[in-house]
Amino acid sequence: MTRGAGDTSAGQTQVRSRRVPANDEYREVLASPPMFVVRPGDAAECAAILKAATHEGRRVLAYGAGRHQRAHGVPSADVVMETGDLTGIVDHDVGDQTITVLAGTSLAEVSGAARAARQWLPIDPTGADDATIGGVVSAGVAGPLRTGYGPARDHLLGTEAAYADGEIARSGGRLVKNVTGFDLHRLQHGAHGTLAVLTRLHLRLRPLPDVDRTLVARLDGPGLDRFHAAWRATGANAAAVSAVSKASSLREGVREFEVLVRLMGSARAVDAADGLARSALGELAELAEGEHSASRWRQLVQMWTPPAGGVTLRVTALPMDGPRSRLGEICAAMEDVVGRHTDTDTDSVFGLALEPMAGVVRAMFASPPPIAIVSALLARAELSGVATEDGPVAFRLQVDPRAGGIQVPALQARLKHALDPRGTLSPGRFPFPAVVPTGAS
């Protein structure tokens, strides 16, 4: 495999590879163990491996730090392609506030380089310390900062990627504004490596805000709704807003939410927003500034990842019904569904985490809940989408076919087929149907 039988370009490439031990570390990601693990040293090697794999009919899963591999479907792969040797900052144009990095570079390394120039990349997904930038973009994940700064897609200016046919292709560029050509990099965001393996990314950085402050209040359900509506009405901007339930069992009902508002900017701007936030929150339980503020949010996103064997379900819903917040109603619907499907004495749910502005509610279960919960959640009109964000293979194999309907499946299949005709990359990740040729006349 590593020499790509019968293929010249792959044959010239010496790629580090190893046989996978029987009890391998990928069992939480893949339905069955891969045959090989390879670590290409550059984009050319990456492309050569893909070409050889396609030629041999082998399936490949690109793998960064593995932080977001347990979401959306269960890929089946013969070869795991680790991006651990595709690391480093290629160029940081401080004056332009742009940076070019190899895909396997950790978010922490990118953040460190940015911070040294008083800049930052406002992305804070789970596993932020060692998550790779390629993985974060491929998985299309975003943390609480999405509220104020948008998803990773909004900071992505361009990519270089290796395709299943062994070609390396670019789109976009290291420019903050650019409409030259089709933005394939936007298509790669959230594609979970089903179209290509990202090898290099161009990103936009932002000036590091002078002040980072987090206000925390403890509110009951109606209090959360009142805060949410009041904060919306101010029109003020927060970097992030989140609510976390401390309840250990939804069966008992959520009694209290910890509501966090993160304000970033100049001292005077933060002070002004601080006043508005306090009036919406009421009495504060806690105030964190600077590094304490940042670490408060790192703790919060860690909670989104369940303990080993646990499950995170991500539910989306329109957060407002006119001037009224729907958060309480959404939580009640979830409590109702979970309550009906779990045993009274099973403390399987350990929390709810809400991104009120985005209409996202995460339910974290300490152990996999009954599958019927997913169908029941989907049946609730209040909720517009359900997906697994984290969970064991066995659970995802059962749940995602029910929850993971994709929009316009035939078109998505044609796109997949256009870029990866033999299904080399991440098969099983999304439910692409078989391609039915259309239009050819």
Binding to other proteins in span 175-214, by CB under 8 A:
175-184, 186-187, 189-191, 194-195, 206-208
Q: Which residues contact 396 (CB under 8 A, 6 or more apart)?
A: 70, 72, 73, 74, 388
Does residue 406 interact with other proteins by CB under 8 A?
yes
3-class secondary structure for 182-248?
CCHHHHHCCCCCCCCEEEEEEEECEECCCEEEEEEEEECHHHHHHHHHHHHHHCCCCCEEEEEECCC
Does residue 90 interact with other proteins by CB under 8 A?
no
Half-sphere exposure of 384 (CA within 13 A, CB side): 8
- What is the size of the binding site for other proteins (CB under 8 A)? 87
From 224, 416, 424, 428, residue interacting with other proteins (rule: CB under 8 A): 416
Nearer to other proteins, 169 or 393 (CB): 169
**Which of positions 26-85 make contact with other proteins (CB under 8 A)?**
72
From 9, 87, 367, 412, residue interacting with other proteins (rule: CB under 8 A): 412
Nearer to other proteins, 66 or 404 (CB): 404
Stretch that binds other proteins, among 29-37, 161-169, 216-224, 250-258 (CB under 8 A): 161-169
From 22, 308, 381, 408, residue interacting with other proteins (rule: CB under 8 A): 408
User: CA 159 to CA 334: how far, in whole Å?
Assistant: 39
Does residue 294 interact with other proteins by CB under 8 A?
no
From 278, 341, 417, 422, residue interacting with other proteins (rule: CB under 8 A): 417
Q: What minimum distance in Å lies between the beta carbon of 83 and other proteins?
A: 20
User: CA 364 to CA 352: how far, in whole Å?
Assistant: 6
Angle at 73 between CA 374 and CA 419, to 5 degrees: 140
Strands 197-204, 98-102: pairing kind: antiparallel
Does residue 434 interact with other proteins by CB under 8 A?
no
Q: What minimum distance in Å lies between the beta carbon of 28 and other proteins?
A: 20
**Which of positions 352-391 make contact with other proteins (CB under 8 A)?**
358-360, 384-385, 387
Does residue 285 interact with other proteins by CB under 8 A?
no
Q: What minimum distance in Å lies between the beta carbon of 239 and other proteins?
A: 13
Own/partner pairs for 249-252, CB < 8 Å, 24+ apart?
249/347, 249/348, 249/349, 250/334, 250/335, 250/338, 250/339, 250/342, 250/349, 250/352, 250/363, 251/335, 251/338, 251/339, 251/342, 251/344, 251/346, 251/349
**Which of positions 209-268 make contact with other proteins (CB under 8 A)?**
232, 235-237, 265-266, 268
**Which of positions 2-21 make contact with other proteins (CB under 8 A)?**
none
Strands 98-102, 156-162: pairing kind: unpaired
Stretch that binds other proteins, among 12-20, 32-40, 82-90, 405-413 (CB under 8 A): 405-413
Q: What minimum distance in Å lies between the beta carbon of 387 and other proteins?
A: 6
Structural element, H or E, at residue 146:
helix 146-149
